Every structure is written in C-alpha cells, then in structure tokens.
Amino acid sequence: MQNNLIFLQDILQQTPLPTAVYSTDDLVISFANSAMCNLWNKGEQVIDTKFADISADFEKDSISEEILRVMKTGIPFLASDRKLETLINGVWTPIFFNYNFTPLRNEKGIIYGVLHTCTEVTKLHEAKTKIVNSDEMLSMAIEACGMGTYEIDVITNTIKTSDNFKKLWCIDSEVTLEAVVAKLHPDDQQLREKAHKDAIENGVFCYEARIIQKNNAEKWIKVFGKIIKNEMGEPSTVLGVVQDIHEQKEFEVELKRKIEESTLELRRSNDDLLHFANVVSHDLQEPVRKIKIFNDFLKNEIADQLPDRSVMHLNKIAHSANRMQSIIEGLLAYSTIDKSSQPVEKIFLNDLLDNIKTDLELIIKEKGAILIISDLPEIEGAPILIQQLFYNLIQNALKFTKADQPPRVIITSTIKNIDSVESIEISFKDNGIGLDPLYAEKIFAAFERLHSKNEYEGNGIGLALCRKIINRHNGTIMAKGEKENGAEFIVTLPLKQNSKNI
C-alpha cells in the first residue's frame, strides 16, 4: 500500500498538469507538484503552507471560497477561461486558465481534501478572441454592404440565415429551402439549379435572379455560395451571401437605353456629317476647277501684258486654288474611307513600294532624295488603302526636309508576335526637320498642322487618314523623333486578316 502511494505521488509529481491538494478548513497545501509550484512561482516549501499565504491578495478570497464550498458541499467546481494574475519575471501578468476543484473522500465517504488541477489556455483564449472579433467585423461589414448570409446543411436540407437575408428574400415566416426557391422568379429557377449543379465540380457558384415580392413586384439579387465538403469529399454544407443589386440592374437598363439612344443619335450625326462632307466636297470641286481653268486662260492670254505685280497675283490665285483642291480631295478621302468595305487581298509590299517610288519620281528627283528600302514580306489587306498609307508616309518624309541636305528615308521591317498575332513592324525613318515628342500623338488628328501652310504644303488630313487605314487593318501607328533630328513612324500590321473584307 505504501509503495502504491509513493508510485502515485511520483506520477503526480512528474505530470505537466499543475496539481495540488488542500486539506482542512484552513486550506493547508498537503501536496503540490512541480508544475503547480512553478505556476505559483514558489518552491517545494509550500507544503503545509496555507493557500491564502501563497495567493495574490486580489484573488485569494474568491478562490478560497470556491475551494471551501467544494470541501463543504462535495460538489465539484469547474472554471473555464478564467483570468488570473500571475507573477512572471517580477511582473503581474494576466493568464487564462481552465481549472477544477474536486472533493477527495476517504473509504467512509467523508471529504478530507480538495484536488486542484488546472490548464493554461491563454493562447487558446487569444485565438478565440481573435476569431470572435473577426466574426464580428465580418458581420458588420456584411451588414454595412446590405448583404444577407445563409448556411445550408446538405444532409438535413435545413437552412440558417441572418435577419437581413430574410429581408432581401422577402420571407417573414420560417426559412426553408422550399420557401427560398418558391420566391424566385419562375424564369430564374433553372438558372439557380444550373449554378448549383456546376458548383458540384468547381465548389463555388454565383448567379443573379429576381425575387417575387409581396406586391408581385420583382427585385434583383445576386447570390454567392461555396460548397464545403466533409472528410469523405462529399458536400456537407453550403455557405453564402445574398446581395441586393436591384438599383444596379435598374441603372444598367437605363444606361443601356441611353447608350442605344446616344449610339443612334451619333450614327445619325455621323451619317449627316459624311453626307455633308461628300456634298460639300463634290460641289466645291467644280468651282475650284473653273477658277483654275479661267486663271490659266488669263495667264496665257494677257500675262505678257500685265505688270509683274499682277502676274504675282495670278500665281497666288493658282496656288490657292491648288491648295483648295488638295483640301477638298483630302476631305473627300477622309470622309469616305469608312463608308464602304474593301476586299482583303494578298499584297506584295515590295511591288507596292516600287509603284509609289514611280508616283513620287518627280519630287524624289527634284530633292535628290535617297530611299533605302529593306526586303518586305507579303501581307493581307486592302491594296488601295495600304497604297494610300505608304504613299502618305513617304510623301510626308519627303515634304518636311531640311534645306541644306537631301532627304533620306530608310524603310525597315521586323516580323513580331503581338498578342499571339504574327505581325510586321515597319519603320519609316527620315532625316528631316524632326518632331517634338509633345506632338507625337496630336499629329494624327484631322486638320492638325504643326507648321504653317507657307512653310510646308499640306491639308492636315494625311496622317489622320493613315490612322484610319491602320485601324481598319487591326494595326497600330505611332510617331517619335526630336526637333531638327528626323522623325520615325512605326506601323504594325497583322500578316493575315481575320475577315474577307475590312
């Protein structure tokens, strides 16, 4: 018997669970293992010491009462997540415990002491506090956003919801799956079924549906959900939120209506502008042509009879008429380029550039221009538009030249993969008057001129026309350069087009 008692004491002494035994009404400590002594910050000398002598003043009275009550009534006492101040490194620190007071009885059933065991749960308490705070913050955030939450037990088909869910779903009575489904608009119930069916594979679902309200009015809601599976990999719970999106839907409908109205109005306005541009262009060409003809008649008939000043005036009339004709032709080209589709054909860029060199032969010879052209590939596009594009870019390079050196235009190309589309990047680089980087984008606007008409001829439409042609071919165009140090235009075009017409 004595050996068994010693063995039992050894076990209790070595256990990491703080353990102590109190006897008599004075709560004399008759046993305390090392773990309990460490907790009290005392040595083994606590044996035969009163509990009140080793406890902090602010806690000993309440705990002593709990121990004495167990000793007198024989009813065990359990405290969970109880905060106690403990002396750690000379500082009283709040520590949380779960502890038990259990009556000890002799063979006659008489209580002779109380067994005290405890477990520190500070970290568990902190974790629970964080979870509670997180849950509270999440609930506040959900409520603030006007959402409702729900939880479905897949096994029992029962559903738990927040109060806001009931308001959003327009349910006053007990919430059941049947009641929830019944509130959905008949045309949207299959949408819900499909979303839940798809969620079995990917685990989440999201759909928009209409709720039938008491007055039979419809209200749009958005449902988010996630399927939680058990350890067997089977669906056990569905968690989700519901959001009121009725105002958003009404806004979308109104926005769509306004966009359609604006689009129709814009299309009508564009058609009117195109019609106006065509009429004006055609109507203006005839009087301009007559001005040029009769001005030539005057020069041929009486130029030798007129003073030099009058001849200069006739020359200015001819110059202005030519410029007017150029503006009209540019306006006509710009206004009609989007009017009709063009068939997509194979274009041999080398042949196309040879034709352009022939068209510009006079100005090339006049300025002593040098064109350095690398070998270019075959592409798909509208030949007449690509011809216009290249013509305008080369003519532009030959126009804005320096007075003290012949123009030089270098055309190179590189095959590139742009957004998974095989494309060609073509560079038109010159040694002309250059370009201020601030205007690298502005020059593509219609009628935008960076130089006066007295310095350089032009109608301000050429580069705008180039961008239109590029856009129709699903490409890009950009300009860069420096003042007095040449300009470079970089064009990218897909090698193949996705449609037969552009």
* pLDDT tens over the chain, length 502 residues: 445 556 666 777 778 889 999 988 888 998 888 888 887 777 778 888 888 887 754 466 678 889 999 999 999 999 888 887 776 677 778 888 899 999 999 888 899 999 999 888 888 888 888 877 776 676 666 665 668 888 888 888 888 888 888 888 888 778 888 888 888 899 998 888 888 888 888 889 999 999 888 888 888 989 998 988 888 888 889 888 888 888 888 888 888 888 888 888 877 776 776 666 666 666 777 788 888 888 888 888 887 888 888 888 888 888 778 767 766 766 666 666 666 677 889 999 999 999 888 878 888 998 999 999 999 999 999 888 888 899 889 988 998 888 888 999 999 999 999 988 999 999 999 999 888 888 788 888 754 444 444 444 444 577 888 898 899 899 999 999 888 888 999 999 999 998 888 7
Residue 356 CB contacts under 8 Å (≥ 6 apart), including other chains: 387, 390, 391, 394
Residue 130 CB contacts under 8 Å (≥ 6 apart), including other chains: none
- Give the pLDDT confidence score for residue 56 in this predicted structure: 58
Q: What distance in Å separates the CA atoms of residue 390 and residue 348, rounded to the nearest whole number?
A: 13
464: phi then psi, degrees, rounded to nearest 5: -65, -40
| Placement of tokens 């350089």 in the chain | 456
- Give the pLDDT confidence score for residue 368 in this predicted structure: 92
- Give the pLDDT confidence score for residue 274 in this predicted structure: 67
What is the chain's Cα-based Rg? Answer: 46
Q: What distance in Å separates the CA atoms of residue 13 and residue 67, rounded to the nearest whole number?
A: 21
pTM higher than the cut 0.75: no
The DSSP 8-state label assigned to residue 16 in this structure reads: S
Alpha-carbon distance values, 106 to 13, 38, 51, 111 (Å): 21, 29, 22, 7
The DSSP 8-state label assigned to residue 501 in this structure reads: B
- Burial class from Cβ neighbours inside 10 Å (0-12, 13-18, 19+) for residue 397 reads buried
Paired tokens of 436: 């201020």
- Give the pLDDT confidence score for residue 1 in this predicted structure: 46
H/E element, 96 = strand 91-105
Contacts of range 422-425, beta carbons closer than 8 Å, 24 or more positions apart:
422/494, 422/495, 422/496, 423/475, 423/492, 423/493, 423/494, 423/495, 424/376, 424/377, 424/379, 424/492, 424/493, 424/495, 425/490, 425/491, 425/492
**Where does residue 474 fall: left (phi above 0), alpha (psi -120 to 50 degrees), or beta otherwise?**
left
Q: Is 328 in a helix, a strand, or coil?
A: helix
Other CB atoms within a 10 A radius of the CB of residue 456 amount to: 14
- Give the pLDDT confidence score for residue 411 in this predicted structure: 96
Q: What distance in Å separates the CA atoms of residue 407 and residue 430, rounded to the nearest whole number?
A: 7
Which of 65, 64, 31 lies closest to 49, judged by CA? 31
Q: What distance in Å separates the CA atoms of residue 179 and residue 175, rounded to the nearest whole number?
A: 6
Contact 315, 298 (CB under 8 A): no
Q: Is 55 in a helix, a strand, or coil?
A: coil
- Give the pLDDT confidence score for residue 132 in this predicted structure: 74
The DSSP 8-state label assigned to residue 482 in this structure reads: -
- Give the pLDDT confidence score for residue 2 in this predicted structure: 47
- Burial class from Cβ neighbours inside 10 Å (0-12, 13-18, 19+) for residue 411 reads buried
End-to-end Cα, the chain, rounded Å: 105
**Range list of H helices, 15-97:** 34-40, 51-54, 57-73
